[in-house]
Amino acid sequence: MKVTGAFTIDGDADLVFTMFDPEGEARWAPGWEIDPVFPIPFRPETNAVFRVTNDGQIEVWSMLDFNPRERKVEYLATAGTDLVRRVAVSCMPAGGRTEVNVTYVLTSLSPAGAARAAAFNGDYITGWRELVQAAVDKLRTH
């Protein structure tokens, strides 16, 4: 199943892009805390791996592509044995604002995975807008 969504953030695209690296996401995503696996010390880069606990389940995340120059990042996340997500985010400048485009490709491996996949939709993605905007605003004021 493929799900896409987009929203606009008031702010510089380079700054907004930092919200979507593994550590930057903690600035706006409630409960997001990474457990670095590779590299140590951790830094966002292609092939980096980390874990996140989500709803009591450990997820393994791999950075398939990390391209700050083009403001694009792509992840593969495996949630237990029931769901695999490929997540791509791009941040494009739009006249002092940033257009954020997100694509999820979800593969459920069980009925439980199918139930979890159903929660991912365009509204889920656009629901990030206020959280990301607040985090960007906070960084700009410090």
**Residue 121 CA: distances (Å) to CA of 2, 22, 41, 93, 141:** 9, 21, 34, 24, 32
pLDDT-based confidence at residue 13 (cuts at 50, 70, 90) = very high
pLDDT reported for residue 121: 85
Q: What is the pLDDT of residues 21-70, one digit of tens each?
A: 999 999 999 999 999 999 999 999 999 999 999 888 899 999 999 999 99
Determine the pLDDT at residue 134: 97
3 state SS of 127: coil
Cβ-proximal residues to 44 (8 Å cutoff; 6+ apart), any chain: 21, 22, 23, 63, 66, 73
Q: Which phi and psi (to 5°) does residue 121 adopt? A: -150, 180
- For tokens 């791996």, name the residue: 49
> What is the pLDDT, as a whole number, of residue 80?
82
What digits encode the pLDDT tens for the residues 126-142? 999 999 999 999 998 87
Domains of the chain: 2-140 (3.30.530.20)
- Report the distance separating Cα 13 and Cα 22, nearest Å: 17
Report whether 87 contacts 102 (CB < 8 A).
yes
**How does pLDDT run across 84-95, given as a tens digit for each residue?**
999 999 999 999
